[in-house]
Structure 1
Amino acid sequence: MNTPFDDIAFLANSENRVAIFGALVENPKSRSEIRDQVDTSGATITRVLRGLEDRNWITSVGQAYAVTPLGEWVYDEFTHLVAEMEAVHRLREPIQWLPDDQLTFDVQRLRDAELILVEESDVTRFLRRVRDFQASGDQIRGVTRSVSPDMVENQWELAVHGETHIDFVISPEVLDVVLGHQTACQQFNEMLDQPNVRFTVCEDIPMSVGIVDGKVGINLTDDQGVLKGGLISEDETVREWALALFEHCRKNGRDVESRDIRGE
């Protein structure tokens, strides 16, 4: 007698079985109609139909085959499992670049997150996506341990030449980088004079996270601190987590003022 594992393996070990099963879930079909839709041999179709019938997942109706209620249940559950495993496979490597001690939400919340990896063939792709992400909303909040002149310029354009509200918590190292770059320092100072901008310095920032309206961007870095990419999620639980991290870091920091830039 087949075990549950045997039934799972019956589908998991053959794309043809899943394709034929799925074709019949759409609507009843004859053998010829199945062959028109699924690119496989007649002998394979016969074997698959026999296996599906033996499990009471399909039944013959005249010259056609139709899925039974039990078969519909099985197909729904199997395709759901496949979708979950596809998400797991996609996020298998990125998840290891997130600090376990900071993730207070179930990582399944990231199943639908957009993944952007830093590619050697196009190292600017990630930065372009971050710029687009920050420009996609009216309010930018977050915490960061890294910065580039391009990112400072992007926020400067959004806040000074636009109406974007910016409230960011930065590490002392980020402030030092900004102060050490002439153009970035000038743009940063101009932002501080805007009523819609607030920067706070915090000593202890565990990771870089941005919140643009209802979306959350999470930087991915390896054990050596090398940027590997990022995730963008619209999950509400992830947003609540990001806001809590932001509020915690801002509460434990101090506001940056123009006199800090001028050295007064």
Structure 2
Amino acid sequence: MLSSTAKSPLDDVAFLARSEHRVTALDALARRPRSRADLRTLTEASASTIGRTLREFEERQWIRRDGHQFEATQLGAYVVTGMRELMDRVETEQKLRNVWQWLPTEASGFTIEMGSSAVVTVADTDDPYRPVNRFVSLLRKTDRFRFVGFDVALLEPCKDELSQRIIDGMHTEIIDPPSVAKYVLSTYTDHCSEPLESGNLTVRLHDDLPSYGVSLFDDRIAISGYNPQSGTVQVLFDTDAPEAREWAESTYESYHREARSLTFRPTVE
């Protein structure tokens, strides 16, 4: 039977959600015993607010008192763990809410959970190259780079940096549609010839690639979403989560198996 403080589970959820310090306080008490002064310092709430919060926790049997110390009961720890999980889920959803359309679908094996620790870099009017700049920062930290997709808008703005990194020894493999490979090779002949001749760059061709790009670096993976209306990369999603890495490796290998090698014929002067 529910206590007099709550009529339904939603009442207790609303009680915790109405003030951020309540979740912070209960979470702290679930980790170890603390005094009122500890909680005031931690939450920056007033003495009266902390006192009222502790009384409400006690009414719900979420905490117990031992002298001047308070600690969470098993019930309180159970509730705050669920609340933290809910807040983490909503935080992830908020990060992805306006860019989800540019990311892989669930049918590809990609899941929302993979975004829980991701860095999500979104282009805006004032800085349309934010995703590209984030991509370049990742490129500078890797010794091996693999990419699958037709995202010319991601690779083209950093062609000088990419070319030099390959010449300097970064082992690179790119899987492109034939039309994109032809465009890049014909438009940026000088940028492509030396990297290809260095032996550090392999280009493979595939006729049916996804609408997004997948990049694999030494320590992170990235997904780039291209907006055909603006002609720019709308979002770069990068993470070091193991499940995301596994998905990216599997996705890349599935296209790699079906791709064919590009035969490069250097221009003879």
What is the TM-score when the length of structure 2 is the normalising length?
A: 0.82
**Candidates 157, 161, 166, aligned match of 1:154:** 161
Distance in 2 (alpha carbons) for counterparts of 1:89 and 1:241: 22
Structure 1 residue 49 corresponds to structure 2 residue 54:
yes
Q: Which residue of 2 aligns with 1:205?
A: 209
* Offset at residue 174 of structure 1 (A): 2.0
How is 1:92-241 mapped onto 2 (pairs within 5 angstroms)? 92-100=97-105, 103-147=108-152, 148-160=155-167, 162-181=168-187, 184-206=188-210, 207-222=212-227, 224=229, 226-241=232-247
8 Å Cα contact 2:104-2:110 kept in structure 1:
no
Aligned-pair Cα RMSD in Å: 2.7
Deviates more, 1:227-236 or 1:146-155: 146-155
Gapped regions of structure 2 (runs ≥ 5): none
8 Å Cα contact 1:192-1:257 kept in structure 2:
no
AA aligned opposite 1:172: P
Distance in 1 (alpha carbons) for counterparts of 2:97 and 2:38: 39
Secondary structure of 2:199 counterpart: coil
* Offset at residue 115 of structure 1 (A): 1.0
Distance in 2 (alpha carbons) for counterparts of 1:253 and 1:20: 55
Distance in 2 (alpha carbons) for counterparts of 1:63 and 1:101: 51
**Candidates 244, 247, 251, aligned match of 1:245:** 251
Kindly, what percent of the aligned residue pairs are identical? Answer: 26
Give the count of matched residue pairs: 258
8 Å Cα contact 1:152-1:188 kept in structure 2:
no
**Candidates 2, 6, 19, aligned match of 2:11:** 6
8 Å Cα contact 1:105-1:237 kept in structure 2:
no
Gapped regions of structure 1 (runs ≥ 5): none
Q: Which residue of 2 aligns with 1:258?
A: 264
* Offset at residue 22 of structure 1 (A): 4.1
* Offset at residue 196 of structure 1 (A): 2.3
* Offset at residue 133 of structure 1 (A): 1.3
AA aligned opposite 1:110: G
The 1:139/1:63 distance shift into structure 2, 3 A limit, reads closer
Deviates more, 1:48-57 or 1:16-25: 16-25
The 1:72/1:150 distance shift into structure 2, 3 A limit, reads same
* Offset at residue 53 of structure 1 (A): 1.0
Q: Deviations over 1:109-152 (max 9, x none)?
A: 22111111113222333222212212222211121212254433
